[in-house]
Copies of this chain bind each other. A is one copy, B any other.
């Protein structure tokens, strides 16, 4: 059997470099073994076992998750909107083929329907094989998986009745340079709004950026979202294997009076014991920005 190789792996180290998005800096991880490497219909996919972060999923050269720190992202993108909603029943996940968000959603007994729309079946198959801790919920009977483009799914949904709409929609996509490009534009936020059940509903998206790298992009993204949801706020999660050690999230509500920084509900004692990252205090703290970033994103 030929040993696998990948252009991002040299001398046994994976190197995350992107001259356009974060020139002049690159994070590297030591590779124990390449587990999978292929071009799917949609993207370049790499899975490797690292020496200190467990298995690592890389799409189009960008680290999506590592087994050691993935909970920081999955918990925050899931529980921030879930604990902001007073009584969520139906949740839609756009992307998230690795299953991490679904695993977190299943911790909420109140949910009746979890719909996941993933464009790339390969990602789901690889998650089941190489990330069992993340993908373990994908076969749960409360979970319905649709293999299609999230943008088109939402367009079709606009025709449906109110009862088929959602309380929370989580966009857990890859970055805009690739199949997820459409998820970072105003037209997408309009589709999201149409797919929400009512004023209590919420959406959250990963922004693909953080305040250190491209704050002007974030400002524009917030502006696009605010044109549809005036109540939009930036928050973030700290993930050591993401560029700069943090990733921005954006949460939006059709209800202008909802304070997004303060969760409507708090985890029960049993729920809290099952959470490694999220708690009430870190929900609030994740909206607090360094002064210069706060000025640009929240006060201009």
Q: Which residues of B contact A50 (CB under 8 A)?
A: 24
A238-269 contacts to B, CB under 8 A, are: 238, 240-246
Contacts of A289 in B (CB 8 A): 282
Summarize A's interface: helix, strand, loop or mixed.
mixed
**Selected contact of A290 from candidates B243, B246, B272, B276, CB within 8 Å:** B276
Stretch at the interface among A26-34, A83-91, A135-143: A26-34
- A197, CB-defined interface residue at 8 Å: no
A238-B290, A245-B246, A288-B285 known; A51 vs B23 contact (CB < 8 Å): yes
Q: Mark A4-39, 1 if CB is under 8 A from B, else 0.
A: 000000000101000000011111111000000000
B288 x A281 contact (CB < 8 A): yes
- In this complex, what residue of B is CB-closest to A52? B24
- Counting every copy of the chain, the complex holds 2
Say if the beta carbon of A120 comes within 8 Å of chain B: no
A24 to B30, CA, bound (A): 5
What is the 8 Å Cβ interface bit string for chain A, positions 205-218, against chain B (1 contact, 0 not)?
A: 00000001100000
| Residues of A282-300 contacting chain B, CB below 8 A | 282, 284-285, 288-292, 294
A48 CB to nearest B CB, Å: 12
Chain A to chain B contacts (Cβ below 8 Å), 25 pairs: A23-B51, A24-B29, A24-B30, A24-B51, A25-B28, A25-B29, A25-B240, A27-B27, A27-B28, A72-B290, A238-B238, A238-B290, A240-B246, A242-B245, A245-B245, A245-B246, A276-B290, A276-B292, A277-B290, A278-B291, A282-B289, A282-B291, A284-B285, A285-B285, A285-B288
